[in-house]
Chain A
Amino acid sequence: MKTSVREVRGVSILDLKGKITIGSGDVQLRETINKLVEDGKKNILINMKEVTTIDSSGIGELVGCYTSVTNKGGKLKLLHLPPKISDVLTVTQLITVFDVYEAEPEAVTSYGG
């Protein structure tokens, strides 16, 4: 998985590309989010548009990241969720946990900055 971070109006947008699966991307996601949290970032938006595959391990890492950011007083939200990943979150009732956006400007504005 490839990751890159950009800042837009006080929001750290993490663009992901590739797989978030066991042994390939799951730990990388956690480490990237942890680094942002350590750097004091509180508004984090994960752009999932180019995520091709996710498994239960990747879902677990997403949930762990959500908890880490929330516990530090931040907000972690999702952008451009591919339909099959949305399905995977829906069947485990996690879709209601995350704020999910289809447009980046709307997502950035939602942080209230």
Chain B
Amino acid sequence: MSASKPPADAGPVRMSLSSRFENIEMAQHLCGKLLEGREVSEETKHWILMALREALANAIKHGNEQDLDKRVHVEMRVDQNTLEVRIRDEGSGFDPERVSDPLAPENRLKTSGRGIFYMKTFMDDVRFGRHEGGGMEIVLTKHLNASRE
């Protein structure tokens, strides 16, 4: 019997969350469960969950504007050792190209505008798009056998 047999692909796990910040940790918990038994360090897992937190906070605050009648749709899966998380809100959307660079000297001391930067820093790929069903969709991707660097 091989002790190093890789875990099977997992998911998709789908959730529909109300637009409350309290739900962020529930989604983080489920993502953590999806990563269990995989070749992913605690360090990498920490940054994945932080990126997930940022994406969910973005959907709840900026996408759905905390409107409790609007939902945040989350789908997570691990396929061939790659984690993919899709997060869709029901808001009117935004242009990710117009988000200012938090590293620019004039933005360094702003109190907001770092969430997308953190997502891009901690994940391998972050894509934005308008979902055909309405709202913005963020797709976060992380290769689980790679470190943050």
Contact = CB atoms under 8 A, between A and B. Distances in A.
Interface of A: 21-24, 55-57, 59-61, 63-64, 66-67, 84, 88, 91-94, 97
Contact of B57 (A22, A66, A94): A22
Interface stretch (B67-75, B86-94, B109-117, B126-134): B109-117
Contacts of B118: 55-56, 88, 91-92
Interface of B: 20-22, 24, 46, 50, 53-54, 57, 61, 102-103, 108-112, 114-115, 117-118, 121
Given A59-B114, A60-B111, A64-B111, A92 B102 contact: yes
A23 B121 CA distance: 23
A21 B52 CA distance: 13
A-side interface mostly = helix
Contacts of A59: 114
Nearest to A21: B53
A97 B114 CA distance: 16
B103 A56 contact: no
Given A24-B21, A92-B114, A97 B108 contact: yes
Contacts of B22: 23
A51 to B, nearest CB: 14
Nearest to A91: B121
13 contacts: A21-B24, A23-B21, A55-B53, A55-B57, A56-B114, A57-B57, A57-B112, A59-B114, A60-B111, A63-B111, A92-B103, A92-B118, A93-B108
Nearest first, the 3 closest Cβ-Cβ pairs linking A and B are A23-B21, A60-B111, A56-B114
A66 B111 CA distance: 10
A18 to B, nearest CB: 13
Contacts of A91: 117-118, 121
B48 to A, nearest CB: 13
